[in-house]
Amino acid sequence: MGLTNLIGLLGLIAVPVIIILYMLRPKNKPLKIPSLYLWKQMADEIESASKIKKLKSSILMFVQIFIVLLLTMIFAGLFIIGENNTENVLIVIDASYTMGAKDVDDSRMAYAKKLANDYVRNLDDNSEVTLLVLEEVPKTIIRDEKDKGFISNLINQIEVIDGICQVELVSETIDTLREADQEVVYFGDRYFNGISNIRTLQNTNNYSVHNISYTKYLREGTITALTKIYNHDKVAALIPVSFYVDNKFFAAKQVEIEPMSSGKLFFENIPYDTTLLSVQIDGEDNLRVDDIAFKMVQVEKRQKALLVTLGNNFLEKALSLHPNVELYTSDNPNDLYGYDIYIFDGIFPENFPVDGNYLVFNPDERELFNHIGYVENPVFTTNEHQVTNHIESTEFATRVTSVFEVQDQRNIIYNTSYGPSAFEMLIQDNKAIVYGFDIHDTDLPLSIEFPILMMNTVDYLLTNQMVGEEELYVGDSVSISILPSTIKGKITSPSGIVSQLDLNRREYIYSGINEVGIYTITQEQEYDTLNEEFAVNIPYISENQGEINERDLIKTPLSTKSLGLYIGVLVLILILIEWFIYSYRRKIHEYKL
């Protein structure tokens, strides 16, 4: 037996109030009568009756005190530990990064584990437990398990992650797993509708840093950075912040932030060649993991591109606009080497070079491209593809285009009713974009989409950028480009955990991002080793924090049975009894006499 809401015990104040009211009840009302002659003759009898009456009055007082005590128990959430209830329970334990906060017990997670273990211990031996852990993706640890010791061991093994599980995903997972008549009990610092929530937080004394952004000023040779500091507490705070450039202290500032709001901080005159920006909150709070944020500064590296053509001013002009591309031209397609991108415009080598990616226009009918025919005056449609980003119109006239057989629909860039006309593919494990038409046969260069299309195409083919995404959070997956000549690759987490890259595909999806900090991708080539870093931060979910702030009480497990309903019924019965006695006291006395 225990209480879930100690504040409810404030209701006990009503007990002395009732006693005082009884003590202060009005004095006897004076009533003048002709004579006390007869009354005095039965003074003794009245005195003894009065004593009984006082006792009855006291009983009413005790009934009222009892009612108050019961109501207090309801408000305080009195529960008993069920001894013999067999239940099918889905236990949900939140392992999100906020559970690492130390406002209660050793941490919210430690407290949640303790409560969950208590809960499991108090279940009936025949209860079946399904354990769901909320990591970036909800993970079912065990299903319909009866062995309490085993369940407790699994609970104890749960660790807080640096990420957070999205509310929608949690709700969907619970809805999927939940069986009829199954009780769902959540242990964590959030709140989910429709299930029992055992909250394991005491306060929200937390500050966090998110969203570092920067602007590079080439002319001044400086970088200006902007970061956002959040105060999740219910009181205003003066938060000290340190700013680091390439892991070296650069500046310190303080920012005063109102409760439940955020403030911006600017840092100026950062050296232009900086590669890493990081912000650290120096103030003490419950949760350290969100006190730091990182941002990689994009460093431009010029890539060498070779345009192999018999003459194409449109392409030459468009490609030379790309800031990271150093464009060369040639009319000899054979024996090429040393370029990052090879652009073949109507003329092709016997064998494609092995050290770069390819952009192909108007290919011949070799088997490599799975050419299936030609279409005159085609009408193009576009598929969702990185290359067609920001392109709204596909209306350009083409005299004729080749169409190809493409197995994977996701690789199609332009389609016609007879087959794909532009697509991505791999040639000797190198990325290639193929356009089936000759640009000279189209009015595409005259449209405003043409330079965008070419920029997107080159961006896609740039080989030295291993990671495309700029903003990465714990729990995200990252697509890593395996460079054409890579013979060995690995990814190293901030804590030093190394994962090998799968070199069988040129795009490797890495889903092991579970730490805040700087990850390093290393790709070893025959004569060189290339390293690239990317930053991973804590995701910011304002809705989540808001919910925590609304309900900042620690609740102990509801365990198996709350007594609220039973106590409520008892209170109603007592009130009815008291009302009946009070209303019919005269009749009751008459009946007794």
Using the minimum distance from each CB to other proteins, give the nearer residue, 527 or 591. Answer: 591
Q: Whole-number minimum distance, CB 14 to other proteins, in Å? A: 24
| CA-based nearest residue to 578, from 70, 12, 43, 139 | 70
Q: Specify whether the backbone of 338 is left (phi greater than 0), alpha (psi in -120 to 50) or beta.
A: left
Q: Kindly tell me which of 58 and 409 has the beta carbon lying closer to other proteins.
A: 58
In the complex, least distance from residue 574 CB atom to other proteins, rounded to whole angstroms: 21
Count of positions on this chain that bind other proteins (CB under 8 A): 32
Q: Closest approach of Cβ 204 to other proteins, in Å? A: 54
Residues 16-45 that bind other proteins (CB under 8 A): 25-43, 45
Choose the stretch contacting other proteins; rule: CB under 8 A; options: 368-376, 485-493, 563-571, 585-593.
585-593
Task: Outline where 381-526 has alpha helix (H).
Answer: 449-461
Going by C-alpha positions, the residue among 9, 144, 2 that lies closest to residue 82 is 2
Tokens 């008993």 -> residue: 80
Task: For other proteins, give the closer residue by CB, 30 or 323.
Answer: 30
Q: In terms of CB distance, is 30 or 496 closer to other proteins?
A: 30
Q: How far are the Cα atoms of 364, 396, 472, 528 from residue 381, in angstroms, in the given order?
A: 23, 11, 32, 42
Nearer to other proteins, 32 or 390 (CB): 32
Toward other proteins, which CB reaches closer, 7 or 49?
49
Nearer to other proteins, 35 or 176 (CB): 35
Quote the tokens at residue 401. Answer: 């285009």
**Closest to other proteins by CB, 42 or 565:** 42
Q: Which of 321, 527, 344, 320 is nearest to 430 (CA)?
A: 344
Q: In this chain, which of 20, 50, 364, 542 binds other proteins, going by CB under 8 A?
A: 50
Least distance (Å) between residue 17 CB and other proteins: 21
CB 262 within 8 A of CB 236: no
- The vertex-422 CA angle with 416 and 426, nearest 5°, equals 140
Distance in angstroms (rounded) separating the CA atoms of residues 14 and 68:
7
Please check whether residue 315 is in contact with residue 346, taking contact to mean a CB–CB distance below 8 angstroms: no
What's the half-sphere exposure (Cβ side, CA atoms, 13 Å) at 76? Answer: 19
Centre a 10 Å sphere on the Cβ of residue 389 and count the other Cβ atoms it contains: 13
Q: Rounded to the nearest whole angstrom, what is the least distance from the CB of residue 592 to other proteins in the complex?
A: 9
Based on CB atoms, which residue is closest to other proteins, 83 or 590?
A: 590
Q: State the nearest-atom distance from the C-beta of 22 to other proteins, in Å.
A: 12
From the CB of 593, what's the least distance to other proteins, in Å?
5
Binding string, residues 533-572; x marks residues near other proteins by CB under 8 A: ----------------------------------------
With CB under 8 A as the contact rule, the residue among 146, 410, 488, 585 that binds other proteins is 585
In whole angstroms, the minimum distance from the beta carbon of 559 to other proteins comes to 46
Pick out residues in 51-110 that bind other proteins (CB under 8 A): 52-54, 57
Segment 388-393 long-range contacts (CB within 8 Å, at least 24 positions apart): 388/413, 388/453, 388/456, 389/452, 389/456, 390/452, 390/456, 391/449, 391/452, 391/453, 391/456, 392/449, 393/447, 393/449
Does 488 participate in binding other proteins (rule CB under 8 A)? no
Provide the 8-state DSSP code for 503: T
Contact region for other proteins (CB under 8 A) — 320-328, 379-387, 566-574, 584-592? Answer: 584-592
* Residue (527 or 582) nearer to other proteins, CB: 582
The string over 137-158, giving b where at least 16 C-beta atoms fall within 10 Å of a residue's C-beta and e elsewhere, is: ebeebbeebeebeebbebbeeb
Q: Which of 13, 19, 21, 49 binds other proteins (CB under 8 A)?
A: 49
**Could you tell me the smallest distance in angstroms from the CB atom of residue 36 to other proteins?**
4
Residue with Cβ nearer other proteins (29 or 219): 29
Residue 340: DSSP 8-state: S
Q: Where are the beta strands (DSSP E) in 417-528?
A: 419-427, 430-435, 472-473, 478-481, 486-492, 498-500, 507-510, 517-525
CB 37, min distance to other proteins, A:
4
Cα 393 to Cα 362, 454, 455, 547, distances in angstroms: 21, 15, 16, 44
Return residues touching other proteins (CB under 8 A): 25-43, 45-46, 49-50, 52-54, 57, 585-586, 589-590, 593
